[in-house]
Amino acid sequence: MNKLEYYIKYWCPPLWIVRAKLRLFSFSHFLFERYPLSDKANVIANQPVFIIGAGRSGTTLLRSMLVASGQIAIPPETQIIHKLPARFQVHRGLGWEGLVKSLIPEFESHKHFYLWKSNLASAYTNAMKLPKNERSLAKLIDVVYKTYAAEQFPEATFWGDQSPIHTFFLPNILSIFPNAKFVHLIRDGRDVVASLIKMNGDASLYESIYRWRESIIRVKKSRKKIRDMNYLEIKYEELVSDPETALRKVSDFIGIAYSNTMLDYWKLESTVENKVYEHHHNLQKPVFTSSIGAWKTRLSEEQQKIVNNELSGLLSELGYK
């Protein structure tokens, strides 16, 4: 896969381009009620929390830690939300009932959905009952996640999402939830590349480099649209070296109380990814620091030269020597 293919794979087209394309093929949006993407009626009490960052940066670890408290519901990643604005536009001509019946199955049909261990039947019913002034894509998603929360984390007052792919599509996320909170987990790019290569093979070297670098760049570009009070940056190295301090910082940012059970994530049923995916097997044991700097032994000398050459500027900027 060459650089152009990487770009196309992770390209996030502006929504105005998506809308213009759709309008070339359908005029139904002129004939039906136009429900908004975002929550114009302000009926969502607590805005969602998105854990973002390049894959293999520890986002799944952070999810497991946070949900261990029972105060926030974050399902295993389904990589769906960033796709929904365009699909919402496509199905707008079906009316609200059609939107509900078209978009909720996007979650149910995803290959990772079974890890939610959730039945969304009530989500259909509750979404259908929404008053017209409360209908939006944001509220529809809110209904889905609150259905999951009610089943898996009944004491939770917040819901969130953890899908690294969303890092590449933040404009789409912000079009739905402009006031959402974002926890950006950053890890040494060399360790990220080494971990991705271990998972996907040596042929993935350049794509792995691109993914880490582009994830940092995309977040930097989107920061202009995210209020400072809604953005928190945490280093993976900080999370595993001093987890209590890092988790207290994240908890304060979200609005939940720190709990010691967060450090017991590896004992709990809410941590599920390690049971089905080999690359998440480390979730079955307490937090450790031995993966910091693992690139020095995992990458060959030639790979180290390439990675350091490609990423040196960003690594220095982020404080990685």
pLDDT-based confidence at residue 300 (cuts at 50, 70, 90): very high
What is the model's pLDDT at position 21? 66
pLDDT-based confidence at residue 232 (cuts at 50, 70, 90): very high
Tell me which residue has tokens 């429900």. Answer: 35
Q: Is 193 exposed, middle or buried (0-12, 13-18, 19+ CB in 10 A)?
A: buried
pLDDT in tens, 173-226: 999 999 999 999 999 999 999 999 999 999 999 999 999 999 999 999 999 999
Mean pLDDT of 141-155: 98
Please state, in angstroms and rounded to a whole number, the distance separating the CA atoms of residues 61 and 285: 11
Please state, in angstroms and rounded to a whole number, the distance separating the CA atoms of residues 217 and 211: 10
Mean pLDDT of 244-256: 98
Mean pLDDT of 16-25: 66
Please state, in angstroms and rounded to a whole number, the distance separating the CA atoms of residues 19 and 238: 41
Instruction: Round the average pLDDT of the chain to a whole number and report it.
Output: 93
Q: Identify each DSSP E strand in 29-180 by its residue range.
A: 49-52, 72-73, 158-162
Which percentage of the chain shows pLDDT scores above 70?
Answer: 96
CATH of domain 3-317: 3.40.50.300
3-state secondary structure 155-205: CCCEEEEECHHHHHHHHHHHHHCCCCEEEEEECCHHHHHHHHHHHHCHHHH
Residue type (1 letter), 207? E
Do the beta carbons of residue 13 and residue 172 sit within 8 Å?
no
Q: Count, in order, helices (H) and strands (E) of the chain.
A: 14, 5
Domain boundaries, the chain: 3-317
- Count how many residues are written for the chain: 321
SS3 category, 72: strand
The predicted model scores a pTM of 0.91
Tell whether the model's pLDDT for residue 25 goes beyond 60: no
What is the model's pLDDT at position 39? 96
Tell whether the model's pLDDT for residue 257 goes beyond 80: yes
DSSP string of 248-279, one letter each residue: HHHHHHHT----GGGGGGGGSTT--GGGT-GG
Tell whether the model's pLDDT for residue 26 goes beyond 70: no
Strands across the sheet containing 158-162? 72-73, 158-162, 49-52, 181-186, 231-235
pLDDT in tens, 3-16: 777 777 888 888 77
Q: Which two tokens stand for residue 240?
A: 């595993």
Tell whether the model's pLDDT for residue 27 goes beyond 80: no
SS3 category, 51: strand
Tell whether the model's pLDDT for residue 93 goes beyond 90: no
Q: Taking Cα atoms as reference points, which of 166, 177, 165, 111 lies closest to residue 141?
A: 177
Q: Taking Cα atoms as reference points, which of 180, 298, 155, 154 lies closest to residue 232?
A: 180
SS3 content of the chain, % helix, strand, coil (to 5): 60, 5, 30
What is the model's pLDDT at position 256? 98
Q: Taking Cα atoms as reference points, which of 234, 197, 224 lies closest to residue 59?
A: 234
| Residue 16, H or E segment | helix 15-25
pLDDT-based confidence at residue 32 (cuts at 50, 70, 90): low
Q: Taking Cα atoms as reference points, which of 8, 11, 6 lies closest to residue 172?
A: 11
